[in-house]
Amino acid sequence: MPAVLAPFSAYLEDPDVTDVFVNGGAGLFVDRGAGVVAAREWRATEEEVRDLAVALIGAGGRHIDDATPCVDVRLGGGIRVHAVLPPIAPEGTVLSIRVPRLEVATLDDLQRTGMFDERMRRRLGEAIAGRANLLVSGAAGAGKTTLLAALLAEAPEHERIVTIEDVAELRIAHPHHVRLEARQPNIEGAGGIGLARLVREALRMRPDRLVVGECRGDEVRELLSALNTGHDGGAGTVHANSLQDVPARLEALGALAALDDRALARQAASAIGLVLHVERDTDGARRIVAAGRPVLDGDGRLAIEEMRWGGE
């Protein structure tokens, strides 16, 4: 663990902790998988929290100050840190620390935790073996990245998996995994490399499976285009509150890429073979609660046709 994280060691070394949050001088909060709770023993002033933010961001190779008050970095071990300074955060410096678990879950592991049943386990294996293009949807912390990594680990060893992420989080138990990570502009606003460009670069790397860790902008156009031109077995994730909210989310992303609703619908219905929606229950358990396939509705817009996968 990087030395700069020492003030949080008691929480980061807890195997159940997934997230640590600091709200200025107001306190620290921890998520152990069942919701966020306050750490009453934590004490730090706003000045100390700001100093921590500067040190953490600096350890990630970036700079945070009044001119650049919102910064996201990845530290050793895959720990992700996001910091926001006042006055953007008027109540004080805000730190959000995402803690990856070092163990890489397999589909069998996820089945044992109750994410899906035996029938769905077989179907998931068939989807990977059949090189279906997959989209995993869900809210933040629902388990999208964990599920996607477990699915990709099922790919044959001879296949080349290229993943593209804003901040590299996907950990895949596969011998041929190439990771690409976006780069933010420097303090002069130059040198940034976004996800859309990385998708185009990845296509020159002869991937057998092209994966965008999270679609959140105009890179959706490049991904859908690639999946429509012979790049089977690809995958991605998207934030959505339910399976039926996925079309609206994709339409919003398509608008950022200058795709109208019907153009986006035709691309998505042709490119994506299966959508899996995951949710986290109040007890912390993560489950696949719905599955479907993109289709065109009567007006030529995108809809999701739900599939009955679970149960016997």
Taking residues 12-33, what's their average pLDDT? 87
Residue 309, pLDDT score: 66
Report the alpha-carbon distance of residue 121 to residue 187 in Å, rounded: 47
Residue 266, pLDDT score: 95
Residue 312, pLDDT score: 44
147 CB-contact burial (10 Å; exposed 0-12 / middle 13-18 / buried 19+) = buried
- Residues of the chain with pLDDT > 70, as a percent, come to 96
Instruction: Provide the H-helix boundaries in 31-162.
Output: 46-59, 107-112, 118-129, 144-152
Residue 291, beta-bridge partner list:
276, 307
CA distances from 68 to 55, 89, 155, 264 (A): 15, 13, 41, 34
Give the global pTM: 0.81
The answer to whether 207 and 184 have CB atoms below 8 angstroms apart is no
> H or E segment at 12?
helix 9-12
Is the pLDDT at 107 greater than 90? The verdict is yes
Least confident of 26-40, 41-55, 252-266: 26-40
Report the alpha-carbon distance of residue 276 to residue 291 in Å, rounded: 5
Nearest alpha carbon to residue 63 among 187, 184, 227: 187
Taking residues 104-119, what's their average pLDDT? 91
DSSP 204-255: TT--SEEEES---STHHHHHHHHHTTT-TT-EEEEE-SSGGGHHHHHHHHHH
The answer to whether 62 and 184 have CB atoms below 8 angstroms apart is yes
Residue 231, pLDDT score: 86
Is the pLDDT at 276 greater than 70? The verdict is yes
In the predicted model, what is the mean pLDDT of the chain? 89
Structural domains in the chain, CATH included, are 3-98 (3.30.450.90), 107-307 (3.40.50.300)
Summarised one tens digit per residue, pLDDT across range 213-228 is 888 888 899 889 989 8
Summarised one tens digit per residue, pLDDT across range 128-163 is 999 999 999 999 888 899 999 999 999 999 999 999
Residue 1, pLDDT score: 65
